[in-house]
Structure 1
Amino acid sequence: MAAPAHEAIPFLPGNTFRDVRKTDYRLPHSLGYKNGYPIQLVHLPTDLETPERLAETAGSDPWITYGDARYHEYEYTPGNGGWHGGKKMGVSSRFVPAHVAFDKVVLRFDAYFKQTVHESEEQYHLRRVRILYYVEDDSIAVVEPPVENSGIPQGVLIKRQKMPKSSTEFYTIRDFNLAVNLTFYGKTFRVVSCDRFTQRYMEETEHLRLNCPEPMPADPYQGDRSRPVRLPTNNTGKVDKLRMFLENDRKVLRFFCVWDDRESMFGELREFVLHYYLVDDCVEVREVRKPNNGRDPFPILLRRQQLPKVMETNANDRSKFYNWRDFRVGCVINVLGRRFLMRDCDDYTRRFYEDNLGVQTNEMRPIPLDIDDAKGPGEDETPPYNGFGSVEDSLGSCKYLVLKPPKKDFIKMLENEHKVLRFVAKMESKHKEDKDRRFVISYRLADDMMTIYEPP
């Protein structure tokens, strides 16, 4: 291919020509940061821009990415086994930096270390970790996968950095293998296995023969914790409060009860709500408060406690206290000497009895009681008009202690001002002299007032 015309002219003053085809005069961005490290951006050739082509080139000889000048004088022939010795014939050498060739290439090794425990039954804790090796800059990170309910701070144990091997050396990929010990900052890690990508990379690219993988040992402390709790075989008669709390926490049965005390003097029919707490077999009784009942606001008749069947009961004898199996819709219970009738329950209580005791829904139907007629007052009767003022004034004296003027609809009065409906009527009477009498009935739309007038 012939050189361009402007390149053949001698480079002398006055013989330099500008490329008229150039349209972009911006300076390219050459510096940047990647993973917190300052790097120089490299513009790859056209044939190395694809990731597959770049990985194939970098994987053939990784030593070229570490800056050894003697490897830069060899050419790469695709399809013929990689790099070949000898000077290149008419082809300029290419150098691909490590941060480009090995970008996102991470090797993962599974390891563990033992943490000594002082003043405890167990001697050590076995903590499993993952060692991540970043090939692009030989940095290492140690991460511990979190274990639920371990009680130990877990996550990133050693952040990504170059790990010192001695005072003058750092760890490289050649120091890694299976079934070996690695010491990072005074802590010894035992490498037991790796993933398939790491194994293939170590054997094909680094040409290292890996040792046989070792099984990950079990942690005796985690084994003791995961062991199921052995339940006692003998029945001691004690209640397992922890089990009741875990199974029945926030589970409450609700019954609607009535107490009929109308046989006594000034007695009445009163409504109550009974709550039964399954977590500790306690009962709470609350009164249904109604407005204007004339009673002090003390809604709790019985605070949360175990309800005895008889007033004089031994506290250690649980059979003498009410249990949820003793309750049914329609049964009568004794609440501190008062006979309560359970007339209804909520939907959750019905489902609970159906699931645990097989009680059908028709057996838990509510009992109808005419409570409103038994206790509720009748409708208020409006007294007749007393003749003072208007009808609204007389009605206001019955509703309010302090009289208030009746409210008027001013919009209606403005819209219907001077609008009057007139009707002619005659009197129906058994007297003959009244049959020919005529009247005029006037209805005012502004204030709904009526006037009856008999013309002369």
Structure 2
Amino acid sequence: MAGLPKLPGLTFTDPTLTSYHLSQTFNVCNGYKIPKSSFVGVGNRELDSHSVKYVTSTDPIRYDPSLTYGKTKDVPLQMFKPHYALYDQKCLTFKAFFKQGVVESPNEYYRVRHVNIIYFLEDDTITVMEPKTPNSGIDQGRLLKRHKIPKYEDGEFWHWKDLAVGKNIVFYGIVFHMVDCDVFTREYMASQGLIMADAEQLPPDPYTQNRLLHSQQNNFTKTPSADDKFRRFLEYDGKILKFKAIWDDRDSEYGDIRKYEVLYFLADDTIAVKEIHTKNDGRDPYSQLLRKTKLPKIWTDRPDNFPSIYLEFSDDEVTEYYQPKDLRVGETIFVLGRKMLLYDCDNFTRNYFKKALCMEQGVAIDISEKPKPPPEKKIPPHDGIGSLEDSLQNTLTFMPKPPRKDVVKQILNANKYLRYEMKMEDIHPEDSIRRFVLFYSLADNTCKIFEPPIENSGIIGGKYLKSSLLAKPNSNPLDPDYYSPIDFYIGAVITVFQQRFIITGADLYVYRYMQANSSKFPCEVIENIRNYMFNQGHLKDDIDRQVIDSQEDIKKVERAAIGKELEYTKTEMDRCLERFNIAPIGDDPQYPTELVKEELVMPEHNVPPFGIQPVNNECAYPITTPPIGSLACKNEAQRIATTEYDTEEEKIKKYYDKVLREHKHICENPPVEEPPKEEDCLIKERKAKCVKFADEKCEC
């Protein structure tokens, strides 16, 4: 029948086959798949692979070695434990917290709640437990019952692979932050290849911490102070520490620097602040800014729930008050929100700090305001109308005034000009023959330029530039640098309103002016003008005068050399002068060789110091000189003869030659008298040289 063709009427079916489904190979027990030991094919038919036909001698599965080697001992099968039995009562525990918002409560805005997230490995269910806190007022315990928690809306559930320390997970819109896990959880995660992070610290609940703090404060008791107020009153009554302070309120509208006086009362540690009023300061004369009270050091330190509208501070709310050690010169204190700088104190305060507190007060601070410098005056640019000096003078004062002029300079240098010859730089060929004369006025430093006419050239000449100040190119327009005589020399190039000129000559007065004022000109400019004047032949008179002066100097040197070459023999007069230690007139620097009316012979002797009487140096032959005649009294012929042939040096030489001849005649021809004896001369010499001391007799 298997070989029949598949045609209608030739197909036959087995009527016993009623089930054509494929048999399953697993049995499901309690949700777990258990493999079947044997199974059949479609329609409960035996499979062909189970027949002996498919068994071969080399088939390792169908081959039974017991047929060949005999029966062996059966190896016990490993006990199979299902998933629910293997992970029974095994859980992963994580510590976590979440924040719960609190509305309409003045004491708290949110709460931090600590929970434990427990994951059951046997059926992948999760539960959330919150440890109970005594007197919390919250229904704590199991927050989320045990079940599979969906992760997304597509049906996926949270798995242990999604849990980790430091991770946020969301259960039904509540965000839990996991901070730690137990030891079993860390070991299990590590065995599965997941390493847990380090443990984090659970944040405290602010409301719980606040209640704990109040409960601890209530356990403390306050001990009364040992300070005796009555004793302090008797000892420190009337003793006040005075400080000078300022309050800088310029940051606010209509604010100003105001001065105050800070008074610290040692009797009860209170502070008062008085305002220092000045005359006509425009402020209400209030006596005190702060009455006598204890001043808190941190004036903003108060509880949030303190009813400041109807209740004042007490010692319970203020942590610290100002004490004397907090008041130092140079420090800033807060007077109920006002920053005051202490800049000075009185002598009693300084002594109290030095002796009682062993502290030195600082040096007084100078708070006087320094005058502000006047704003810089900006000079407007010159508009081109009028001179620069006139425009600048109009900006200095409200009422315009003419600029000041040097009247003395104008009077001394009136109509004095320095003239220079110039030519244009060759720009056009027709300008090469043009010449110009520059007049520099010494009275007002202005320059004017004239052009001489040239016949039959078409150049009519005339005024080229009126008297004006010539500014140098590239100078500051508001403070220009003007041309001066030191800029004018032969070959110099000057710019006159963008027209360049070359100086080719100057007159002799320019050189004479430079000689008279050589300190005002550089040496190069004077040398340049001198060379030009020498080349032009204007210095012939100077050269002749210099030649005459040099010849006269040569004659003087020759006349002085004549007396030096003669050999001078000593006369009796020279010996007499040497005997009395009298130097010749020409050798004594105190008496120069010139005409004098006193005696020409001046005695010289060395006087020993201390207790010596004056020496008698009277000469036996006194020398007198006749008076010198005045040259002004001579007649015209004598005056002409003396001035024409004799110079002043020759006159002096002739006079002294006459005097020496008279002295020589007196010494060689003494008056006819009996010559003195030799003994008398010795006596006279002894008298001349006799010296008398205070304690001794006269000795020679």
TM-score, with normalisation over the residues of structure 2?
A: 0.20
Q: Which has the larger radius of gyration?
A: 2
Q: Report 1 or 2 for greater relative contact order, CA contacts < 8 Å, sequence distance ≥ 6.
A: 1
